[in-house]
Amino acid sequence: MSDHRSGKVAQRRVFYIPGYDPIHPRRYRELYRKEAAAQAAVSGFAIGLKPKRAGGPYGWHVTAEIEGAEVEADVEVLVWSDIVRGSMSSSIPATYLQLVRCAWTYIASGALRRLMWLRKGPVIAALYPVGMLLLQLAVALGLGAAAGAAGGHALSLLGAPWALGLVLRLALWGAVAVALLRWFKKKDGKIFAYYLMHDYAYSANWGGANPPELEARMAEFADRIAGALTEGSDEVLVVGHSSGAHLAVSILADLIRAGRVPANGPALSFLSLGQVVPMVSFLPKAHRLRADLAYLSLRDEITWVDITAPGDGCAFALCDPVAVSGVAPEGAKWPLVFSASFTQTLSPARWKELRWRFFRLHFQYLCAFDRPKDYDYFRVTAGPLTLGARYAGRPPSKSRIVIPASKYTSQAA
């Protein structure tokens, strides 16, 4: 069993937990391959991908020479895209019902107003699918009414009975409206209104609690990570991106509570990227998540680094997820919160290119920077230092937000 106290890494296991994403995990392998090569060209290190050696459903093997040391890493994607796809298989009427329920949950609970205190960007992102779906409905109904009126008028000019004209108006109205709504849904790959509505509704429908099928999958993830902690690597690194960050919080808290983190095992590290924890932890029934946040913030068994960026309008940038949720205990030591500083780590030309591509920026943490500073995804996942050693002594960002803002602070027993 390795002694991780040196902070040096030759062998690493990486577990990547995606956000609410229905796409096959191969996209993450190809993203890693492309962006690792781009970062290597900028930073002057060598990195390559091979087929996965360890078991598990999906991943890849990384060999790298970084900072003068050779490192190998097995990266595994902890897949829950099937659960995501299942939650998205709603009809158009069901999606609009989700819209009403989701909006009511956030507004009636007071969570929406309190989230606005923190960062307006992710709240606007949350309101986007509501506004877009309502706009689509208005356009569909409006054009349907216009088509019905035109058809009814044409029929009246032919001397048809009034009742027949009314039937034609209603039939055309319904047919055009339904056709347009179906067309909008078909084009959602570019608009993302349905996708984002399902995303926010998935947590809101349960009031911040985890659905049973997700809890079962999280237990499977915990077993995978626990197994890696007994296999002799120098570091086991869990990366939680977007919604995957709050899943990782609960998974890691469960592992530590259950005594499944060996005292002399690999270093256990947690990197949360672009987190949206408050969108869940501020909801009334998020008792488990709030308890897990408070618990994990105290633990010596783990290093937890939280990285966001104000340029990412979909994340709660620089918001300490434990503190803003109102559950930071006395003596809390995690997470270390700092910024990826997109406006500084991306050249002006690259920033100009990406600035208005909001969804792409939400994935920038997993990508190459052409002016990298102290955050580099590939040095973290394939470099020769543990997460704790890499950021030892690194101060948190001065502009981080630690003011408790959640109305609900109850925790699971």
Give, as one character, the DSSP assignment of residue 364. G
Residue 1 predicted with pLDDT over 50: no
Position 359 scores a pLDDT of 85
H helix runs in 355-411, sequence order: 358-361, 377-382, 387-390
Distance in angstroms (rounded) separating the CA atoms of residues 131 and 193: 9
pLDDT tens by residue, 267-326: 999 999 999 999 999 999 999 999 999 999 999 999 999 999 999 988 999 999 999 999
> How many other C-beta atoms lie within 10 A of the C-beta of residue 301?
15
Give residue 181's identity as a one-letter amino acid code.
L
Position 37 scores a pLDDT of 96
Position 2 scores a pLDDT of 47
Residue 5 predicted with pLDDT over 90: no
Distance in angstroms (rounded) separating the CA atoms of residues 302 and 114: 30
Higher pLDDT, 68 or 2: 68
Position 138 scores a pLDDT of 92
Interior angle at CA 403, CA 326 and CA 298, nearest 5: 50
Higher pLDDT, 129 or 306: 306
| Strands 46-51 vs 59-66: parallel, antiparallel or unpaired | antiparallel
Residue 157: half-sphere exposure toward Cβ, Cα within 13 Å: 6
Structure tokens of 399?
Answer: 């502009």
Position 151 scores a pLDDT of 65
Distance in angstroms (rounded) separating the CA atoms of residues 131 and 137: 10
Candidates 42, 50, 101; CA nearest to 73 is: 50
Q: Are 1 and 263 in contact (CB under 8 A)?
A: no
> How many other C-beta atoms lie within 10 A of the C-beta of residue 345?
22
Mean pLDDT, residues 259-272 taken together = 95
Q: Which residue has the tokens 């394939």?
A: 382
Mean pLDDT, residues 188-217 taken together = 87
Q: Taking the CA atoms of 374, 375, 378 and 379 in sequence, report the sign of the dihedral they define.
A: positive
Candidates 43, 14, 49, 12; CA nearest to 30 is: 49
Residue 354 predicted with pLDDT over 70: yes
Distance in angstroms (rounded) separating the CA atoms of residues 251 and 263: 18
Number of helices (H), then strands (E), belonging to the chain: the values are: 18, 8
Residue 87 predicted with pLDDT over 70: yes
H helix runs in 89-161, sequence order: 92-108, 111-118, 120-157
Residue 162 predicted with pLDDT over 60: no
Which pTM was predicted? Answer: 0.91
Q: Place 170 in a pLDDT band, splitting at 50, 70 and 90.
A: confident
Radius of gyration of the chain (CA): 24
Per-domain boundaries in the chain: 9-82+209-390, 91-202
Residue 161 predicted with pLDDT over 70: no
Q: Are 94 and 103 in contact (CB under 8 A)?
A: no
Strand-pairing partners, residue 305, are: 271, 336
pLDDT tens by residue, 19-74: 998 888 889 999 999 999 999 999 999 999 988 876 667 899 999 999 999 999 99
pLDDT tens by residue, 342-352: 999 999 999 99
Q: Place 167 in a pLDDT band, splitting at 50, 70 and 90.
A: low
Burial class (CB in 10 A: 0-12, 13-18, 19+), 275: buried
Structure tokens of 268?
Answer: 């256990």
Share of the chain above pLDDT 70, in %: 93
Distance in angstroms (rounded) separating the CA atoms of residues 408 and 284: 6
Averaged pLDDT score across all residues of the chain = 89
Strand-pairing partners, residue 237, are: 14, 269
Q: Which fold would CATH assign to domain 9-82+209-390? A: Rossmann fold (3.40.50)
Q: Place 140 in a pLDDT band, splitting at 50, 70 and 90.
A: confident
